[in-house]
């Protein structure tokens, strides 16, 4: 199964993988060697912590390698549409509060709420897909239903 991903998200995963393999893994191997040098491993907290960290690092490497292998990179700079699709940045107006919001629809591995990046599969993302400028979209959230008007759709941001 392919996972939609922006080029930016793909590059971030590659950088994370590179850091894990070139920096984190070698440092952890050194930490394990140092902890082993302290003697009795059965009561060596440093050794146990380093081995646990090793397990985390190896699991993260496998996870990222899988995500990279199954990624379908979508170049959002080349997209153009009059409706909301993956990679679109959507300007919204909260009809209840009168607040403006802006969200970019991205893959699950790229979500960054602080920077307005929401998952294609989130309730907001699913509600926005297919909508057009001027549409009023009802989003069902845990706090209740909210209505937003789509005010703009752009790409490549």
Q: What CATH number is given to the structural domain containing 97?
A: 3.10.50.30
Give CA–CA dist 141/151, Å, rounded.
21
DSSP-assigned letter for residue 108: G
Percentage of the chain with pLDDT > 90?
Answer: 64
pTM value is 0.75
Give CA–CA dist 6/117, Å, rounded.
11
DSSP helix/strand/coil, 149: strand
Clarify whether residues 68 and 103 are in a common domain. no
Structural domain of 105: 76-154
Task: Report pLDDT for 96.
Answer: 87
pLDDT digits (tens, 9 = 90+) for 102-143: 999 999 889 999 999 999 999 899 999 999 999 999 988 777
Q: What CATH number is given to the structural domain containing 46?
A: 1.10.287.180
Task: Report pLDDT for 157.
Answer: 56
Total domains, the chain = 2
Least-confidence region, from 20-29, 85-94, 138-147: 138-147
Distances (CA, A) of 102 to 11, 120, 148: 23, 14, 11
Clarify whether residues 45 and 59 are in a common domain. yes
Give CA–CA dist 6/109, Å, rounded.
10
Clarify whether residues 22 and 87 are in a common domain. no
> 41 vs 67, which has greater pLDDT?
67
On average, the pLDDT of the chain sits at 90
Q: Is the pLDDT of residue 144 over 90?
A: no
Clarify whether residues 68 and 90 are in a common domain. no
pLDDT digits (tens, 9 = 90+) for 56-73: 999 999 999 999 999 999
Question: What number of CA atoms fall less than 13 Å from residue 110's CA on the CB side?
Answer: 28
Residues 6+ apart with CB under 8 A from 134: 149, 150
Task: Report pLDDT for 20.
Answer: 97
Residues 6+ apart with CB under 8 A from 50: 28, 31, 32, 35
Q: Is the pLDDT of residue 13 over 70?
A: yes
Clarify whether residues 103 and 58 are in a common domain. no
Joined together, the tokens standing for residue 137 give 């979209």
Pairing of strands 3-6, 71-74: parallel
Domain end point (choices 74, 89, 124): 74
Q: What is the CA radius of gyration of the chain?
A: 22
Clarify whether residues 9 and 70 are in a common domain. yes
Q: What number of residues does the chain have? A: 157
């Amino acid at each position: 199964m392919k996972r939609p991903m922006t080029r930016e998200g793909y590059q971030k995963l590659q950088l994370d993988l590179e850091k894990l393999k070139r920096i984190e893994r070698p440092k952890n191997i050194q930490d394990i060697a140092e902890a082993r040098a302290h003697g009795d491993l059965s009561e060596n907290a440093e050794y146990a912590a380093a081995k646990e960290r090793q397990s985390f690092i190896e699991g993260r490497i496998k996870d990222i390698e899988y995500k990279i292998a199954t990624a379908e990179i979508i170049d959002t700079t080349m997209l153009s549409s009059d409706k909301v699709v993956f990679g679109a940045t959507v300007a919204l107006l909260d009809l209840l509060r009168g607040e403006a919001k802006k969200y970019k629809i991205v893959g699950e591995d790229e979500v960054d709420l602080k920077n307005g990046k929401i998952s294609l599969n989130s309730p907001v993302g699913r509600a926005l897909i297919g909508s057009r400028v001027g549409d009023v979209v009802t989003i069902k959230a845990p706090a209740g239903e909210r209505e937003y008007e789509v005010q703009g759709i752009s790409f490549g941001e």
